[in-house]
Amino acid sequence: MKNRTVQVPNISCGHCVAAIEREVSEIEGVLSVEGRHDTRDVTISWNSEKTSWQEIEGLMKQINYPPAG
């Protein structure tokens, strides 16, 4: 299992967090997604045998919530 916490500058409210959590959690192999609008952090845990960070990051970019850095 892998974990990563990233800053997502486009987060401005709870609806943004809900959209990220909903969309990213649909990727096969993603175990958990937890976002905070006050800090603009998103923490994601995933099974590296089923998905990659590149796939997760790609989806986040596609839905207009790209991770910073």
pLDDT tens-digit readout, 5-63:
999 999 999 999 999 999 999 999 999 999 999 999 999 999 999 999 999 999 999 99
Residue 42 CB-density burial (10 A; 0-12 exposed, 13-18 middle, 19+ buried): buried
Neighbours of 11 (CB within 10 A): 21
CATH architecture of the domain with residue range 2-62 = 2-Layer Sandwich (3.30)
Task: Kindly report whether the global pTM for this prediction surpasses the value 0.85.
Answer: yes
- The C-alpha atoms of residue 42 and residue 6 are separated, in whole angstroms, by 5
Residue 69 has pLDDT above 90, yes or no: no
